[in-house]
Chains A and B, each alone.
Chain A
Amino acid sequence: MSKNEYIIEGESPGVKKISRRDILKTAGVGGAGILIGASGIGGLLSVTEGKASSVKVSDVVPFYGRHQSGITTKAQNHVYFAALDVTTTRKEDLIMLFKEWTQAAALMSEGKPIGELSSNEFLPPKDTGEAEGLSASNLTITFGVGPSLFVKENQDRFGLKSKQPKELKDLPAFSLDALEEEWTGGDLCIQACADDMQVAFHAVRNLIRIARGKAVLRWAQPGFQRTKQADAKEGTPRNLFGFKDGSVNPDVKSEKQMNEHVWVQPGDGPNWLQNGSYLVVRRIQMFIEVWDRTNLKEQENTFGRYRDSGAPFGQKNEFDKLDLNHKQADGEDTIPVDSHVRLSHGDGSQQILRRGYSYSNGMDLKTGSFDAGLLFLSFQRSPSKQFIPIQKRLSKMDKLNEYISHRGSALFACLPGTKQGGFIGETLFM
C-alpha cells in the first residue's frame, strides 16, 4: 500500500478540502499577499477554490478538527515523545493547562511562535525561539491521558474516576517484558511529530515549560525514520534491523477502516473519548550488535520476509498477500511458525495503526553497545481487542524476541480533536 497522500484531519478522507482560512494562511505565508492587494481576497479565493489542485500544499497540518492530528497524518520524519506526571492536585489547573496547551499547539502547528517578543526586556521571551523563521514542517502535536491521571495509588485524583474507560488501564505483563520504571507510564503524553527535529523539540520544550508547576517530565524519547528527502519514493521505512517496518497498516485514507480500527466509536465506552484513539507506546531496545552477526537466512526467517524487497516469503512484492498456508517441498511452513510476520498477523482480524520511529540514545553505559531500538507507537480503537492479543502472541514465541527487549511501556487515551475556541480535553474535564 502506498501511503503517500495524507488527509487533513476532520475532513472526509481522500478529499483534500481547502478552507478559506487555509488560503488566507497560505497567502500570508507565501508572499501572495501582493496578489490580495491587486485583486482582492475574493479574487484570490475564487481562483484557488476553482483549481484547488494548483495550490501548492503547504507544510501546515491543521490542528483543529474532529480528530487530533498526528494519528492518521502521514508519518513525519521525526518524533519527540514525552510522558508527564501531573504534580498539581487541582482540576482547575489541569483545565488551565490543556487550554494553554491547545492555544500554543495551534500556533506552533502553523509555524508561529507561542508569543511575540515582549517590549519589556526584564521578561524572558514567551517563546523559546529556536523555531524562529522555520517552517511549520508538518508539525503535529497529539495529547493523551494515561490511566494514572484517573486513579493513582487508589486515589481518585481529580474526580475523574467515573470517567475512566475500562480499556484505559495498564497493559498486562507480557512474557519477556523487561520494563524499567524510568521508561514506563505517565499521566499525560505529548507526541510531537515534524519533518524537522528542531521544530518537534521546540514544540515539546515549550509545552513542558507551560506545564511548570502543574506537570513535569516523566520520560522523553526522540525518534527518527528515513527522511522524505532521502527517499523520494517514500517507501515503507526500514527499521534498525534493516527490514521494512509497517508494510501492513490499515489505510488512513479509508474512513471506514479508520472508524473500524482506530477511532473510538459511540458505545465503545465513555462518550468523552469518542473520536479519540488509544495509543500504545513500547520502547523496544534492539540488540543491533547481535543482529548484525546473524546470517541473512536467519534474519529473514525471523521476520518471514525478504530483506531486500520486503515481500513475505513465497511472494515477490512487499504488499503481496501473506500466504500463511503455503508449504515448502519438505512440508514445512514457508512462513515459519515463529516468524514475526506470521505472529503479528494472527488470523488477520486484529489491525493496529503503527506509527513508530527508530531511536538511538548514544551508548548503553553498562555494555558499551548502542542504546538503540524502536519507539513503537500504535493507535487503535480497543487495546484489549487489538494490541494486547497481538502482543500476547508475539511475546510468547516471536523469534524476534532473541534480538529485542521491551524496556518501556505506556498506554494513553488520545483525546478527540477540538474546534477553534475549544480546547483539547474539554470533553473529559468539563
Chain B
Amino acid sequence: MKLLKVSGSLLLSSSLLFGCANSDENSAKETVKETKNTVSDSFSVVTDEYRKYAIGEIEEFVKATEAFTTAVKNGDVDQAKALYATSRVHYERAEPIAEVFGDLDPKIDAREGDVPEAEWGGYHRIEKGLWVENTTIGYEQYAEQLMKDVNLLRAKVDTVEVTPDLLITGAVDLLNEVSTSKVTGEEDRYSHTDLFDFAANVEGADKIFQLLNPALKEKDEELSKEIQIRFDDVFSLLNKHKNDEGYKVYTDLTEPEIKELSQAIDALAEPLSEIGIVTEAL
C-alpha cells in the first residue's frame, strides 16, 4: 500500500505535493507523507540533472541540424551525408524528452511509411534523397521545414516536466527502441548508419542509469553492479564496430554480430527494467 502511494505521488509535481501537506492528518499518513517528501526531494536533484542533460543535447541537436540543413540547401551532398548520422545522435540520446512532443517527433524523425507520403518530411526523407537519389535537389523545402521543427522542439523542451516516471520508463524505452528498430536496420534504411543511433540510444539510457545509480546502490548493490557490467558489455561490443567515420555501416555487420548485439541489449534491458525499485522507500 505504502509503495503504491509513494510511486503514485511521484507523478505529481513537487509543488502540488507540498501544497497538499496537511497538519491535521493522522500519524500513519504522516509517515507516508514524509517518505513522499524524501523520495521526491532526492529525485528533484536527479530530474534537474537530467533536464540539463536533455536540454543540452537538444541544443546540440539544433546546431547540428543547422549545419546539416544548410548543407542540404547549399546542394552539398557529401557534406550533408557526412553530417547526417552525427546530427541525429543528439536527438536519439534525448529521445525520452524529445518524444514527449507527439506532434513534432514524426515531423523530425518519421520513417517512410510511418506517416502518409504527403506528410512525410524530416531527417529520413532527406536521407532517402541523399543516399537513394544522391541529391539534395528538391529537398531544400524539407530542410527548411526540418529546421523550423527542430527550433520549435528546442523552444518546447523548456516546458517539459521531468518526472521520475519519465526517467524510469525512458531508460528502458531507449533500449526498446534499439531492439525494435535499430537492431533490424530499419531506422536508417538508406544510409545504414543505424549503429550511430543504436549507440546514442544506449548512451541516453546510460545517462539515466548513472543519475539513478547512487539511489539504486543504496537499494540493491548487486543490481547496480549487474546493470553496470551489462552496459560495459554493450559498449565493448559497439566499440568493435567503430571506424574512422564513427561506426561501420549496418550492412557490413554479419548476422551473428547483429544477433550478438541484440542479445546484449536484451541482457542489459532486463535488469535495467528493475530500476523502478528506486522509488520504493528505503
Contacts and interface: CB of A to CB of B under 8 A. Distances in A.
The judgment on whether A and B are partners is yes
Given A213-B226, A213-B230, A213-B271, A120 B266 contact: no
A124 B273 contact: yes
Nearest to A124: B273
A17 B3 CA distance: 44
B279 interface: yes
A123 B220 CA distance: 14
A122 B168 contact: yes
Contacts of B279: 120, 122
A328 interface: no
B178 to A, nearest CB: 15
A209 B1 CA distance: 28
B155 to A, nearest CB: 30
Dominant SS among interface residues on chain B: helix
Given A87-B263, A213-B226, A216-B263, A123 B271 contact: no
A121 B4 contact: yes
A119 B4 contact: yes
Interface in B103-153: none
B274 interface: yes
A321 interface: no
A396 interface: no
Contacts of A212: 266-267, 270-271
* Residue among B8, B230, B280 having the largest count of chain A Cβ atoms under 10 Å: B280
A32 B274 CA distance: 38
B177 interface: no
A220 to B, nearest CB: 14
A124 B270 CA distance: 9
B271 to A, nearest CB: 7
A218 B158 CA distance: 46
Contacts of A209: 270
Contacts of B276: 120, 122-123
B99 interface: no
A124 B165 CA distance: 13
Contacts of B87: none
Contacts of A120: 3-4, 7, 276-277, 279-280
A81 B277 CA distance: 33
Interface in A208-247: 209, 212-213, 216
A123 B223 CA distance: 14
B169 to A, nearest CB: 8
Contacts of A124: 273-274
Contacts of B3: 119-120
A87 B7 contact: no
B272 to A, nearest CB: 10
A213 B280 CA distance: 25
Interface in A179-216: 209, 212-213, 216
Contacts of B266: 212, 216
A221 B266 CA distance: 21
A62 to B, nearest CB: 30
A124 B271 CA distance: 10
Contacts of B7: 120-122
Contacts of B274: 123-124
Given A87-B263, A120-B279, A122-B276, A213 B270 contact: yes
A215 to B, nearest CB: 10
Nearest to A210: B270
A213 to B, nearest CB: 4
Contacts of A121: 4, 7-8
Given A87-B263, A213-B226, A122 B165 contact: yes
A205 to B, nearest CB: 12
Contacts of A123: 273-274, 276-277
A209 B276 CA distance: 18
Nearest to B269: A212
* Residue among A87, A122, A212 having the largest count of chain B Cβ atoms under 10 Å: A122
Nearest to B6: A120
Interface string A99-123: 0000000000000000000011111
A213 B268 CA distance: 7
Contacts of A119: 1, 3-4
Contacts of A122: 7, 164-165, 168, 276-277, 279
Interface in B246-282: 263, 266-268, 270-271, 273-274, 276-277, 279-280
27 contacts: A119-B1, A119-B3, A119-B4, A120-B3, A120-B4, A120-B7, A120-B277, A120-B280, A121-B8, A122-B7, A122-B164, A122-B165, A122-B168, A122-B279, A123-B273, A123-B274, A123-B276, A209-B270, A212-B266, A212-B267, A212-B271, A213-B226, A213-B230, A213-B268, A216-B263, A216-B266, A216-B267
Shortest 10 CB-CB distances between A and B: which pairs?
A122-B276, A212-B270, A213-B267, A123-B276, A216-B263, A119-B3, A212-B267, A124-B273, A120-B3, A122-B279
Interface of A: 87, 119-124, 209, 212-213, 216
Given A87-B263, A120-B280, A123-B274, 19 more contacts: A119-B1, A119-B4, A120-B7, A120-B276, A120-B279, A121-B4, A122-B7, A122-B164, A122-B165, A122-B279, A123-B277, A124-B274, A212-B270, A212-B271, A213-B226, A213-B230, A213-B267, A216-B263, A216-B267
